[in-house]
Chain A
Amino acid sequence: MPESAELYFNVDHGYLEGLVRGCKASLLTQQDYINLVQCENLEDLKIHLQTTDYGNFLADQTGPLTVSIIDTKMRKKLCREFEYFRNHSLEPLSTFFTYMTCSYMIDNVILLMNGALQKKPVKDILAKCHPLGSFMEMEAVNIAETASDLFNAVLVETPLAPFFQDCMSENTLDELNIELLRNKLYKSYLEAFYKFCKNHGDVTAEVMCPILEFEADRRAFIITLNSFGTELTKDDRQSLYPTCGKLYPEGLCLLAQAEDFEQVKRVADHYAVYKPLLDAVGNNNEGKALEDVFFEREVQMNVLAFNRQFHYGVFYAYIKLREQEMRNIVWIAECISQRHRTKINSYIPIL
């Protein structure tokens, strides 16, 4: 539906958009975080969360609370909301939702393969998988030994199948290969998602494209930084970069040649968006971690997505914001349970 989304967006997706905006209003506020940080133990945390929109999601918990219980319960709640959105969505919004789940599916597949490599029982790993990315064939992943095996036998009918085009190989999957596979899958996933949004046009493209561009560039930076000191060649490295970001193509070439953090920083200097981000990253102990800086930027973009109406970006932004909120709560809960209060304030506020 090009051009005039305002006219008939609400016919198909108005209900869900209204719903998601309502859900967004229930995100924890700054005051909530201030209160959470003051909690003495996890029980206090639970009581405070009860006064928020989380409600009594921990009410039927008999045993003592642990951080992982809180985490799984929150995930379940998020998953319930997402399932509701998804079940009530119409095309092309439902495709959009499928794209959203793909990233979690990739993570789950990789997690399971890693688990199989280390000979851990499937049940244990399944518990760790993100519920948003679970699918039926998932548990059979460890049958496969090579990437093409994986594709042919297990994933050919899942939404992940199209992303396999350039990672078919007969190499047995060791740890490095799995990591390569993850990044390749993610690259083609991001590119496909980007293309989908771009083709959709309208406000959705205007909102989603910058978010996905940022996501792509973030991956490029992180891949570069993580590849220092590994046996990954520079060509291989370049082949992992998603090409839908702002860095493409010059920035990615430069990044491929980078050899330490200083050089990466120099690449970022060419981009007005990333320069302040990488400048904010401090050395080992002072300043913020690179991840946090990226998260903050992501939160900013996602919050901005709510300023416009009649587009799908709000759903993506809402899920991402919720996830960030969950990370914050888990962080705070961890700090509380480990009595490690000095760093409790380094959660990422959602404004």
Chain B
Amino acid sequence: MGSLFRSESMCLAQLFLQAGTAYECLSALGERGLVQFRDLNQSVSSFQRKFVGEMKRCEELERILAYLVQEINKADIPLPEGETSPPAPPLKQVLEMQEQLQKLEVELREVTKNKEKLRKNLLELIEYTHMLRVTKTFVKRNVEFEPTYEEFPPLENDSLLDYSCMQRLGAKLGFVSGLINQGKVEAFEKMLWRVCKGYTIVTYAELDEPLEDPETGEVIKWYVFLISFWGEQIGYKVKKICDCYHCHIYPYPNTAEERKEIQEGLNTRIQDLYTVLHKTEDYLRQVLCKAAESVYSRVIQVRKMKAIYHMLNMCSFDVTNKCLIAEVWCPEADLQELRRALEDGSRESGATIPSFMNTIPTKETPPTLIRTNKFTEGFQNIVDAYGVGSYREVNPALFTIITFPFLFAVMFGDFGHGFVMFLFALLLVLNENHPRLNQSQEIMRMFFDGRYILLLMGLFSVYTGLIYNDCFSKSVNIFGSGWNVSAMYSSSHATKEHKKMVLWNDSVVRHNKVLQLDPSVPGVFQGPYPFGIDPIWNLATNRLTFLNSFKMKMSVILGIIHMTFGVTLGIFNHLHFRKKFNIYLVSIPELLFMLCIFGYLIFMIVYKWLVYSAETSRVAPSILIEFINMFLFPASETIGLYPGQSGYTLVRKDSEEEVSLLGSQDIEEGHNQMEDGCREVTNEEFNFGEILMTQVIHSIEYCLGCISNTASYLRLWALSLAHAQLSDVLWAMLMRVGLRVDTTYGVLLLLPVIAFFVILTVFILLIMEGLSAFLHAIRLHWVEFQNKFYTGAGTKFVPFSFSLLPSKFHNNDLA
């Protein structure tokens, strides 16, 4: 409790770590997460620091581990994650570990290299067989088209492959065949045509099964081509072009027998390669499986080691170079724990001289630490999002726990909706240890982190919903209405009384569309509804007018109480920081101003509620007019709320003016005094003009702020109105239509209508409206409440703790 009200008191401690034990000490500290290190070598660039060699070693280890994880993932071997996180490795083991890992890496690289080579070989052979198979059909086709080659002597029996006759023409017929990437075929053909000026014939066909590209590992479509050309020169060019387009070229068999021979040879070799490849893969898998067992703990260990060296790099050496000096922020409550951690570390390393610490006084502002638990964490986050509190200032999160869900609920008041929200939050809370929820992403994560906020928001919405008597826009009659309709009939009263009152008889009831209940008629109003709004208002046409007046006044009252509370909290701040004069010269004038104007407004509202009854309601003055007149015509002759009001108003007004003026003047003087006091310590230039300006601006801002902030609290009314109206519209548009259909077919229609109603309720009323109410509640806290006392100019305490290191495998993080 105390720690949530203010941040914990911190002290600056100096740790003297013996060079031999520093590593173990920091390891012990990291496990406990007690202290925040200060960088003592800020001017030293990263590669000139003391432990850069060790950092490099850690990075090398990380690189190897990343490689291992990558290979293991590639082989689809599950990576077991340990439950407990292993401690940072002792220094003696590090070398051993490094050696082991390096050996493993070399072995792995060797094996994978072999494997890749084999695979490539295999791929080439497969490609070759495909090529042979496909080109066979080319040749057949060539034979068919043979008559078109008119310039050649007829080749009746010889196949085209037998090119001896070609030699007779003085030109040598050559073939180049191979595979080419699908995307490059067109450009390839064009280029061949342009370069060889048509002295080539290209035939190609698509390969039906896609093959892997040995360079990129992608599986793509290939084309098999066969180029026939004449002449050495052109052949040379063709080969060049094939190189340029990264074609895979394979020798083309000249005769059918040769082709057959090659194909058979290929088949046996492919068989052999398959078996070898399988063996290699099995072996690789074995190695990887063995590696996978320890890889998780290794990764964590290396991470911890790296974190330790990172922190050691922030320490400075003392003159004798025998011990490291670290400066840390530590919560005063944890100093004992810190000592124990240092002892543990020293003992573990077996050092003769223990490491020790002493606290040093400092004038620097320490970081802010507010310990939270899973319940308060969400509320603290809301406050921290505005600004981390200054050191030891009053922490609004404590009050936010109640006020935030409450203000939210004022806007979201509907106990049906609130109950659904409560149930959802309850579900999350009860299952909070479920692993799937813990690892969920984005939006679900957001809900999960705010589950306790949601829970309270739901609960409070149920409460305000009961007050508003709204359940999915319908009222619930639990206690029985306090209004009695039958009392309005003239028959129920004695005839004497008839003249004074407007009573109903049969003709009135029959001919009027709207009937008015008059509470001044005896028996009609039997006293207020025990809890919340009377359900009979749900039937009234002037329901909105009634509720508006109620909600508006309620929001103003709540807002002013909230703000006054904020100003009061400022007093605690001044008390704590020993600025008593600020209480007299800032807080009390502020309070006076607030209470004399807006407190008086509340008084008027309550007074009017209490004093005027149904009978006298016609003569009740308007609060708004009274309030305005109080400022504009202090002596005007209106009918006041109560006798003697004008006198009071005058007195109050005068005194209030004086107070506020005096107050602001005093504020200025007060701050002057404060500055005088501080001057000895800080030796700062005292500038009267500047202080005066800030104070004048501050007082003006506060006065104007009070008015605009009060107006700002009217959003409570506006949003609650909007929510109620929206749910009303949804009911009228959907459910009423569904319910009006006659009974026989109604069920068929009602089912989809209800489904639709549920969906719209969840998405529009719960999620969308909920979000907007949430945002407005946040704003009311950040702006209207917190600017009364909260500075929020601190820095967060970030302990050196291993638990803050990522504990999971993030593949992208490692790779």
Choose among A38, A43, A48 the residue that contacts B56 (Cβ–Cβ < 8 A).
Answer: A43
A140 touches B240 (CB 8 A): yes
Choose among B47, B55, B59, B244 the residue that contacts A137 (Cβ–Cβ < 8 A).
Answer: B244
A180 within 8 A of B: no
A153 within 8 A of B: yes
B513 within 8 A of A: no
For A136, list chain B residues within 8 Å (CB).
Answer: 184, 187, 244-245
A338 within 8 A of B: no
Segment of B190-198, B283-291, B424-432, B605-613 in the binding face = B190-198
A156 within 8 A of B: yes
Residues of A115-135 whose CB lies within 8 A of B: 122
Choose among A39, A60, A138 the residue that contacts B63 (Cβ–Cβ < 8 A).
Answer: A60
For A139, list chain B residues within 8 Å (CB).
Answer: 243-244
A44 within 8 A of B: yes
Choose among A38, A39, A43, A157 the residue that contacts B187 (Cβ–Cβ < 8 A).
Answer: A157
A30 within 8 A of B: no
A143 touches B184 (CB 8 A): no
For A157, list chain B residues within 8 Å (CB).
Answer: 187, 190
A143 touches B187 (CB 8 A): no
For B243, list chain A residues within 8 Å (CB).
Answer: 122, 139
A48 touches B46 (CB 8 A): yes
CB distance from B778 to the nearest CB of A (A): 29
A154 within 8 A of B: yes
CA distance A48 to B48 in the complex (A): 10
Interface size class of B (residues with CB under 8 A): 20 to 34
CB distance from A263 to the nearest CB of B (A): 45
For A153, list chain B residues within 8 Å (CB).
Answer: 191, 194-195
For B63, list chain A residues within 8 Å (CB).
Answer: 59-60
For B191, list chain A residues within 8 Å (CB).
Answer: 137, 140, 153-154
B45 within 8 A of A: yes
Residues of A2-48 whose CB lies within 8 A of B: 35, 38-39, 43-44, 47-48
CA distance A291 to B784 in the complex (A): 62
Contact with B along A133-152 (1 / 0, CB 8 A): 00011111011000000001
CB distance from B82 to the nearest CB of A (A): 25
A51 within 8 A of B: yes
CB distance from B621 to the nearest CB of A (A): 57
B244 touches A140 (CB 8 A): yes
For A50, list chain B residues within 8 Å (CB).
Answer: 46
For B190, list chain A residues within 8 Å (CB).
Answer: 157
A39 touches B241 (CB 8 A): no
CB distance from A340 to the nearest CB of B (A): 20
Most buried by A among B55, B184, B194, B244: B244
B52 within 8 A of A: yes
Tell me whether A143 and B46 are in contact in the complex, defined as CB-CB below 8 angstroms, given that A47-B56, A153-B191, A153-B195 are known contacts: no
Contact with A along B233-245 (1 / 0, CB 8 A): 0000100110111
Interface majority SS on A: helix, strand, loop or mixed?
A: helix
B45 touches A35 (CB 8 A): yes
CA distance A35 to B46 in the complex (A): 9
Tell me whether A142 and B240 are in contact in the complex, defined as CB-CB below 8 angstroms, given that A152-B194, A157-B187 are known contacts: yes
CA distance A59 to B243 in the complex (A): 33
Interface size class of A (residues with CB under 8 A): 20 to 34
A143 touches B194 (CB 8 A): no
Tell me whether A38 and B48 are in contact in the complex, defined as CB-CB below 8 angstroms, given that A137-B187, A140-B191, A157-B187 are known contacts: yes
For A122, list chain B residues within 8 Å (CB).
Answer: 243
For A43, list chain B residues within 8 Å (CB).
Answer: 47, 56
CB distance from A206 to the nearest CB of B (A): 38
CA distance A153 to B194 in the complex (A): 5
Nearest neighbor of A51 in chain B, beta-carbon distance: B46
CA distance A162 to B566 in the complex (A): 75
Residues of B214-251 whose CB lies within 8 A of A: 237, 240-241, 243-245
CA distance A160 to B183 in the complex (A): 21
B194 touches A156 (CB 8 A): yes
Residues of A157-197 whose CB lies within 8 A of B: 157
CA distance A137 to B244 in the complex (A): 7
B45 touches A140 (CB 8 A): no
Nearest neighbor of A149 in chain B, beta-carbon distance: B195
For A39, list chain B residues within 8 Å (CB).
Answer: 47
Most buried by B among A35, A122, A137, A157: A137
For B245, list chain A residues within 8 Å (CB).
Answer: 136
CB distance from A120 to the nearest CB of B (A): 15
B59 touches A143 (CB 8 A): no
For A59, list chain B residues within 8 Å (CB).
Answer: 59, 63
Most buried by B among A44, A136, A142: A136
A44 touches B47 (CB 8 A): yes
For A48, list chain B residues within 8 Å (CB).
Answer: 45-47
For B241, list chain A residues within 8 Å (CB).
Answer: 140, 143
CA distance A138 to B187 in the complex (A): 12
For A38, list chain B residues within 8 Å (CB).
Answer: 45, 48
B52 touches A143 (CB 8 A): no
Residues of B33-63 whose CB lies within 8 A of A: 45-48, 52, 55-56, 59, 63
For A152, list chain B residues within 8 Å (CB).
Answer: 194
For B195, list chain A residues within 8 Å (CB).
Answer: 140, 143, 153-154
CA distance A157 to B190 in the complex (A): 10
B45 touches A143 (CB 8 A): no
B47 touches A47 (CB 8 A): yes
Residues of B571-622 whose CB lies within 8 A of A: none
For B240, list chain A residues within 8 Å (CB).
Answer: 140, 142-143
Most buried by B among A50, A122, A143: A143
For B46, list chain A residues within 8 Å (CB).
Answer: 47-48, 50-51
Nearest neighbor of A140 in chain B, beta-carbon distance: B244
CA distance A148 to B46 in the complex (A): 56
Nearest neighbor of A39 in chain B, beta-carbon distance: B47
Tell me whether A143 and B237 are in contact in the complex, defined as CB-CB below 8 angstroms, given that A60-B63, A152-B194, A154-B191 are known contacts: yes
CB distance from B195 to the nearest CB of A (A): 4
CB distance from A332 to the nearest CB of B (A): 14
CA distance A59 to B52 in the complex (A): 16
CA distance A48 to B49 in the complex (A): 12
CB distance from B438 to the nearest CB of A (A): 29
Most buried by B among A48, A50, A140, A142: A140
CB distance from A117 to the nearest CB of B (A): 15
CB distance from B45 to the nearest CB of A (A): 4
For A142, list chain B residues within 8 Å (CB).
Answer: 240
Nearest neighbor of B246 in chain A, beta-carbon distance: A139
CA distance A149 to B191 in the complex (A): 12
CA distance A51 to B52 in the complex (A): 13
CA distance A68 to B742 in the complex (A): 85
CB distance from A119 to the nearest CB of B (A): 14
Residues of B180-211 whose CB lies within 8 A of A: 184, 187, 190-191, 194-195
Nearest neighbor of A123 in chain B, beta-carbon distance: B243
CB distance from B352 to the nearest CB of A (A): 35
CB distance from A113 to the nearest CB of B (A): 14
For B52, list chain A residues within 8 Å (CB).
Answer: 47
Nearest neighbor of A50 in chain B, beta-carbon distance: B46
CA distance A137 to B187 in the complex (A): 9
CA distance A63 to B56 in the complex (A): 14
Contact with A along B52-89 (1 / 0, CB 8 A): 10011001000100010000000000000000000000
CB distance from A336 to the nearest CB of B (A): 12
CA distance A39 to B244 in the complex (A): 42
For A35, list chain B residues within 8 Å (CB).
Answer: 45, 47
CA distance A229 to B548 in the complex (A): 96
Nearest neighbor of B190 in chain A, beta-carbon distance: A157
CA distance A139 to B188 in the complex (A): 12
**Top-3 shortest CB links A-B:** A139-B244, A140-B244, A47-B47
Can you identify 9 A-B contacts, CB atoms within 8 angstroms?
A44-B47, A47-B46, A47-B55, A48-B45, A59-B63, A139-B243, A140-B191, A143-B241, A153-B194
Contacts A47-B47, A60-B67 known; 12 new A-B pairs at CB < 8 A: A35-B45, A35-B47, A47-B46, A47-B52, A50-B46, A60-B63, A136-B184, A137-B191, A142-B240, A143-B241, A153-B194, A154-B195
